[in-house]
Amino acid sequence: MNPRIVVVGLGPADEAMITRATFDAIAACPVRFVRTRRHPAVTVFDTIGGTAPTFLDDVYEGAARIGDVYPAIVDRITQAAREHGEVLYAVPGSPLVAERTVQLLGALDGVEVEIVPAMSFLDLTWPRLGVDPVDASVRLVDGHEFAAAAAGERGPFLVAQCDSTLVLGDIKLAVEDWPCEPVTVVHHLGLPDESIRQVEWADLDRIGEADHLTSLYIPRLTAPIGAELVRFDELVHQLRVGCPWDREQTHGSLRRYLIEECFELDEAIAALAPEGPDGSDGDAEYDDGDRAIEHFMEELGDVLFQVYLHSTIAAESGWFTLADVARSVHDKLHRRHPHVFGDARFDSPEEFSAEWEGIKAQEAAERGESPAAASEGIPAALPALLRASKILKRLHAAGVDVDSAVPSVPSAWESFAAAPDADSLGSLLLGVVLAARSQQLDAETALRDAGDRLA
């Protein structure tokens, strides 16, 4: 005879909403397991009496990641069923709504699983919202999997398991275009402290207390979540778990690969077409199947993988997530483009560049940092001509008369010819970079192309 597991649901609130069938099943089975004690209806075991249940919260506490929890719980219950012949397993809400352990139990061979129907949080949610889920085609998703589950869709969504402000923050940042209309947070339905309130999307992670009895109703998203980027993020996380090479990488070990990929991307861009005098791709025309375009896309993807991998490693250290990276650069670019997102007007690129440097200086002052040197923030590992060009650009934007500070090419050449040493050569090269900038030319690219012509 196969071992038997009787699965019951403790309903959406306190024990007042537990069904009579669940009461009878609990009373009839002396060996009892409860997935978590964090549910108001667990008092039913005191009411019924008998053998105290075994709570499985220790499985959560001992697991390295949430994906390991549910199989471990199923193994533990199954072993007990084989030992005792029959066990009871109680879960919050209904066994048939968003209950991963029950799904895993149902897939087992050699074990009889009986599921006792119960009320779920959905039975309280729809009347409170005044929504017919069938008529509105509402999709139920797990808050921990929102980004992937909602990818490519606009809603409406009922998001369950919003059990912390961190989860709500992840949901908030998963959406690229925030909805204009408020969303509804439902909390502790059926309990004395029940609350139903509407909040703006920007305030989603500032609602205060959130736990496993908190859900979110989203009537509509302005635009679908980026499905391909979400899938790529999931793949990188899987590589960190399943691939020995990816698992052992650190920020330091990846430096060489990031540099290599950036240079390969640069070569792919250079291979598109010779640049015209205005920096465009000349008269080149491509079709969708052109190999140069495909190679360019591949190299962009390799650099993107580096960004995702570094962000994943940082998240594992508790530093920041990919969403934090995207939010940071989004906010920075929004702040530094007042002519696009505000009322500022610039008559020339030079005016914009000066404003850009001014905004950066203001940001540094707000962080309590002293004014940056001209070279600060410009990587020392950059090619020398490119680094010099960036320093000259920054000095010019700061109002420094670089034409007076740097000798002209003829003057520098005379000094070098008279006393050829490293200092005079450096002054000559700096003069060449300044002359190139005055003609809107890139000395680094020009020297590279000239070298290639000799090769």
Among 176, 219, 182, 218, which residue's Cα sits nearest to residue 200? 182
Q: Is residue 369 one of the residues assigned to a domain?
A: no
Residue 381 placed within a domain? yes
Instruction: Indicate which CATH number applies to the domain containing 203.
Output: 3.30.950.10
**Residues 155/220, Cβ–Cβ less than 8 Å:** yes
Share of the chain above pLDDT 90, in %: 49
384, 402, 403, 393: which is closest to 356 by C-alpha?
Answer: 393
Three-state DSSP state, 184: strand
Cα–Cα distance for residue pair 311/185, rounded to 1 Å: 30
DSSP states along 69-135: HHHHHHHHHHHHHHHHSEEEEEESB-TTSS-HHHHHHHT-SS-EEEE-----HHHHHHHHHT--HHH
- Strand-pairing partners, residue 218, are 157
For residue 149, is it within any domain? yes
CA 123, 124, 126, 129: dihedral to nearest 10 degrees? Answer: 180
Residue 8 DSSP SS3: strand
- Residue given tokens 């275009």 in the structure block: 177
The Cα 453–Cα 455 span in angstroms is 6
How many separate domains does the chain show? 4
Q: By the 8 A CB rule, do 223 and 174 touch?
A: no
CATH classification at residue 92: 3.40.1010.10
- Specify if 211 maps to a domain: yes
Domain with 104, as residue range(s), is 4-119
Query: Which residue bears the tokens 């369950």?
Result: 160
> Rounded to the nearest 5°, which phi and psi values hold at 368?
80, 20
Does a structural domain hold residue 109?
Answer: yes
Same domain, 19 and 103: yes
**Domain with 242 in it: what CATH number?**
1.10.287.1080
How confident is the model at residue 227, as a pLDDT? 65
Within a domain: residue 50?
yes
Q: What is the pLDDT of residues 232-249, one digit of tens each?
A: 888 999 999 999 999 999
CA nearest 236: which of 309, 317, 168? 309
The pTM score is 0.51
Axis-axis angle for helices 291-316, 255-270 (nearest 10): 160
pLDDT at 189 over 60: yes
- Residue 246 sits in the same domain as residue 306: yes
Lowest mean pLDDT among 265-279, 293-307, 321-335: 265-279
pLDDT tens for residues 373-419? 556 667 777 788 888 888 888 787 777 888 888 889 999 999 999 99
Which amino acid, residue 394? R
Quick one: DSSP state of residue 256?
A: H
Among residues 335, 368, 390, the one where a domain terminates is 335
Is residue 24 within 8 A of residue 41, CB to CB? The reply is: no
Nearest CA among 96, 126, 132 for reference residue 113:
96
Predicted local confidence at residue 163, as pLDDT:
87
Distance CA 121, CA 112 (A): 27
Instruction: Please tell me which residue, 212 or 64, carries the higher pLDDT value.
Output: 212
Rounded Cα distance between 97 and 120, Å, is: 7
Q: Identify which of 182-191, 342-351, 371-380 has the greatest average pLDDT.
A: 182-191
* The last residue of a domain, from among 119, 147, 170: 119
CB 131 within 8 A of CB 112: no
CA distance 122 to 93: 9
Confidence class for position 63, pLDDT limits 50, 70, 90: confident
The answer to whether the CB of 17 falls within 8 A of the CB of 40 is: no
**Whether residues 91 and 127 fall in one domain:** no
Q: What is the pLDDT of residue 197?
A: 93
Can you tell me the mean pLDDT for 344-363? 78
Average pLDDT over the chain reads 87
377, containing H or E segment:
none
Select from 24, 49, 46, 27 the least CA-distant residue to 37: 46
Pair 103, 115 in one domain: yes
Residues 9 and 102 in one domain: yes
Q: Is residue 371 part of a domain?
A: no
pLDDT above 70 coverage of the chain, percent: 93
CA proximity to 58, closest of 71, 73, 48, 47: 73
- The answer to whether residues 454 and 382 belong to one domain is yes
Given 119, 149, 172, which residue is the final one in a domain?
119
* pLDDT confidence band for 277 (50 / 70 / 90): very low
Give the pair of three-digit tokens for residue 334. Answer: 């929004």
Q: Are residues 390 and 286 in the same domain?
A: no
